[in-house]
Amino acid sequence: MPGPRKQAPPPLQVDTARVVLAGIAVWVVALVVLLVLGDRVDRLWTWTCVAAIALALLGLGIMRWQQSKDPSAPHRSQARGGPLRRGRSSDDA
């Protein structure tokens, strides 16, 4: 017989634009490394980085457009205040 179920924790407020920008930064670093390596790597990887950056920028634009159309969506200032990790603090002990 299963025990009592725990309630699901509330969803975290995440600044998705910041997450996308971090991903773009990673792809830009990969692109720079591939450009430095030059002809020692297949050009397919270079175009993969370019496509990923372009699609991420497109997605970022769409996200911002959707947020501007939806007044009930949380704005960046509201998303920054939430905790990113859950754990025991010194007050819980």
> So what's the pLDDT on residue 72?
72
> So what's the pLDDT on residue 89?
46
State the Cα–Cα distance between residues 73 and 13, nearest whole angstrom.
11
State the Cα–Cα distance between residues 22 and 14, nearest whole angstrom.
13
Full-model pTM: 0.66
Of the chain, the end-to-end C-alpha distance in Å amounts to 32
Least confident of 9-18, 25-34, 55-64: 9-18
> So what's the pLDDT on residue 24?
98
Domain ranges of the chain: 16-69
Phi, psi of 9 (to 5 degrees): -70, 155
The sign of the dihedral angle between the CA atoms of 41, 24, 53, 35 is negative
